[in-house]
A and B are shown apart, each in its own frame.
Chain A
Amino acid sequence: QVHLQESGPGLVKPSETVSLTCTVSGGSMGNYYWSWMRQSPGKELEWIGFIHWSGSVNYNPSFESRVTISLETSKNQISLKLHSVTAADTAIYYCARGDDSSGYGDHWGQGTLVTVSS
Chain B
Amino acid sequence: DVQMTQSPSSLSASVGDGVTISCQASQDIGTSLNWYQIKPRNAPKLLIYDASLLASGVPSRFSGRGSGTHFTLTITSLQPEDVATYHCQQYDNLPLTFGGGTKVDTK
What is the interface residue range for chain A against chain B?
Answer: 20 to 34
Name the B residues within 8 Å of A35 (CB-CB): 96
SS class of chain B's interface: helix, strand, loop or mixed?
Answer: loop
Among residues of B, the one whose C-beta sits closest to the C-beta of A110 is B43
In the complex, chain B residues 25-63 whose Cβ is within 8 Å of any chain A Cβ = 32-34, 36, 41-46, 49-50, 55
What is the interface residue range for chain B against chain A?
Answer: 20 to 34
Name the B residues within 8 Å of A56 (CB-CB): none
Which residue from A4, A45, A62, A96 sits with its C-beta under 8 Å from B87? A45
* Residues 77-104 of chain A, each 1 if its beta carbon lies under 8 Å from chain B, else 0: 0000000000000000010100011111
Listed A/B pairs (8) with beta-carbon separation below 8 Å: A60-B95, A96-B44, A100-B91, A101-B49, A102-B34, A105-B34, A108-B45, A110-B42
> What is B's interface to A at a CB cutoff of 8 Å?
32-34, 36, 41-46, 49-50, 55, 87, 89, 91, 94-101
> What is A's interface to B at a CB cutoff of 8 Å?
4, 35, 44-47, 58, 60-62, 94, 96, 100-111
